[in-house]
Amino acid sequence: MEDHRDGGDPHDGGDPHRVESDPRAASDPDPRAVSDPRVASDVALGLAVPVMDLLVALCAQYRLNPSEHTVEILSHNRNHVSFKPNSPIGSLDAETIVLKPKVTEEKTKRPYTPEASVRLLINYRRSHKTVVRVSPRVPLGDLVPVVGRKCEFCPASTVLLRDSVSREPLDLSRSLDQLGLRELFARDTAGKKPLLPGRNAL
């Protein structure tokens, strides 16, 4: 009896990136899986198989890690098809399934660069000094709580001055960089008449 089967390689002449489905798996044509161009073998895709199970099966066949890969489904006109992990393949308008590595956030994020900080010398209570590391680019108003706690002042009554003889509080909307400061004087105004910008205290 004459054998009418084609004895050639089913992948010869085709797209080397495609992995054709086994025609014996179902009577209707199944979607075709596109995988790593280094691999090419038959894979049976049942139409009732959920997308997630297909992903696991493909990764197992090609010895890949499912958690590091995802599938992309393309329709007959090459449009992307939206799906849920438990969507059966047969319920989707799927012509081609692409198996591709995930792009994780760690790979897309820029390398972490620590925020620059400087040593701020704080003078208080006449001869007391202390040092704190702060960002030179934030408004002084954001540094008042830090300075107050460091000097054991109540932040609500802490006033920042350029030096011990200055009577005009620093502009809290400006930063150390803007004021060109790395040293300042902290005064506790609790129980005292507060200093007001632009006015000299007697």
- 68-92 pLDDT, tens digit per residue, is 888 888 888 888 888 888 888 888 8
Q: Taking the model in full, what pTM does it have? A: 0.42
Span 113-137, mean pLDDT?
90
Rounded to whole angstroms, what are the CA distances from 160 to 64, 128, 151?
A: 61, 15, 12
Percent of the chain with pLDDT over 70: 67
Rounded to whole angstroms, what are the CA distances from 19 to 73, 79, 94?
A: 14, 19, 14
Q: Evaluate whether 173 touches 144 at the Cβ level (below 8 Å).
A: no
| 142 or 23: which leads in pLDDT | 142
Percent of the chain with pLDDT over 90: 31
Q: Evaluate whether 139 touches 173 at the Cβ level (below 8 Å).
A: yes
% helix / strand / coil in the chain, to the nearest 5?
20, 25, 55
